[in-house]
């Protein structure tokens, strides 16, 4: 398990799936940190490499860039 500096466990790549509710501690600029957000999966072919996203004021905020170097955890994204 990987945790942040406060001991909160990050969401894992292996367990996070569409429909899950998460919170984020990072100010992505397109939604407020700490808001509960539902994980969505894009069906668009152009999104095939990065299918998971969170709805935001710009449309889709893809979460794959939050994956850590070991490709195990989403940094700044927490299961609820």
pLDDT tens, per residue, the chain with 80 residues: 788 888 999 999 999 999 999 998 876 778 888 889 999 999 887 777 779 999 988 888 899 999 999 999 999 999 99
What is the number of domains present in the chain? 1
Those residues whose C-beta lies under 8 Å from the C-beta of residue 9, and which sit 6 or more positions away, are: 1, 2, 3, 78, 79
- By the 10 Å C-beta count (0-12 exposed, 13-18 middle, 19+ buried), 75 is classed as middle
| Any domain includes 63 | yes
Does any domain span residue 4? no
Return the SS3 of 14. coil
What pLDDT is recorded for position 67?
A: 94
In a domain, 29, yes or no: yes
Is the residue at 2 inside a domain? no
Domain around 44: 11-79
pLDDT the model gives residue 17: 96
Q: Is residue 1 situated within a structural domain?
A: no
């Amino acid at each position: 398990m990987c945790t942040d500096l406060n001991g909160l466990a990050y969401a894992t790549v292996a367990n996070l799936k569409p429909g899950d509710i998460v919170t984020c501690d990072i100010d992505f600029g397109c939604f407020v940190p700490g808001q509960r957000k539902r994980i969505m999966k894009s069906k668009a072919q152009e999104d095939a490499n990065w299918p998971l996203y969170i709805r935001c004021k710009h449309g889709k905020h893809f979460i794959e860039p939050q994956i850590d170097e070991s490709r195990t955890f989403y940094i700044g994204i927490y299961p609820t």
